[in-house]
Amino acid sequence: MRKSVLLGLGFLIPALAAPGERALFNGKNVDGWEMIRSQGRDTFVVEDGVLRTTGAKGMIAYTREKLGNGALRVVYKMSNEKGNSGIFIRIPDVPTAERDAIHGGIEVQIDNNDNDWHSTGVLYSMTKALARPYKPAGEWNTMEITLDGLRTMVRLNGVLVTDYDGVSEVPPKKLPYEPDRGPRPETGYIGLQGHDDRAIIYFKEVSFASKK
Domain boundaries, the chain: 23-210
> What is the reported pLDDT for 56?
93
User: Is pLDDT at 88 greater than 70 in this prediction?
Assistant: yes
Residue range 113-139: average pLDDT?
A: 97
What is the model's pLDDT at position 170?
97
Average pLDDT of the residues of the chain: 91
Chosen CATH of 23-210 out of 3.90.1310.10, 1.20.1560.10, 2.60.120.560, 3.20.20.70: 2.60.120.560
Each as own residue / partner, the long-range contacts of residues 161-165 (CB below 8 Å, 24 or more positions apart, any chain) are 161/120, 161/121, 161/122, 161/129, 161/130, 161/131, 161/132, 161/133, 162/108, 162/121, 162/122, 162/123, 162/127, 162/129, 162/130, 163/130, 164/1, 164/123, 164/126, 164/127
Tell me the per-residue pLDDT of 202-212, one tens digit each, with 9 for 90 and over.
Answer: 999 999 999 87
Question: Between 122 and 17, where is the model more confident?
Answer: 122
What confidence score (pLDDT) does residue 20 get? 77
**Across 25-41, average pLDDT:** 91
Q: Quick check: 4 pLDDT over 90?
A: no
Q: How far apart are CA 158 and CA 67, in angstroms?
A: 22
pTM of the model: 0.90
Mean pLDDT of 36-64: 93
